Amino acid sequence: MDTERSKKSNRLSIFISYSHADEAWKDRLVKQLRVLESEGNFEVWDDRRIGAGDDWYPAIEKALNEASMAILLVSEDFLTSPFILGDEVPRLLKRRKEEGIWVIPLIVWPPEFGSQSYAVWGVLYESGGGPGGGNSEIRRKAGPW
């Protein structure tokens, strides 16, 4: 029992940030990640883990604070969500800068690249959210992301 608890506490947590309009894309990603999750090295978290009647904001806040990595499913709906851009993305980027968590943008539907989305990409790049994180040697080898 203690070994099982210890294993669970050592697992990495992947936070999936997405617009509910892109639920089908999120489901496809989660299905693929669940194959690897079954090996016990990490767990995948998205807001569908919040139970009916549960207070959703503290649950998301806890998941954001505990995530080892975040995958952002970027689309026009993602880029126009006040909650995602006003709460989730800034918090994840702050943790990226201060703690070095990986923040990986995954474009699922080509957005109109207006000034707001350029700001998101600029912040991601400046915070080291592209390949290699803040490691410029890895970023140089990886090329543009």
pLDDT for position 131: 41
CATH of domain 2-142: 3.40.50
Q: How confident is the model at residue 25 (pLDDT cuts 50, 70, 90)?
A: very high
pTM over 0.85: no
pLDDT tens per residue, range 28-51? 999 988 887 788 888 999 888 888
Distance CA 46, CA 15 (A): 6
pLDDT for position 87: 92
Distance CA 93, CA 128 (A): 9
DSSP 48: G
Q: In angstroms, how far is the first alpha carbon of the chain from the final one?
A: 43
Distances (CA, A) of 18 to 50, 79, 107, 110, 144: 15, 10, 11, 14, 23
Distance CA 90, CA 123 (A): 9
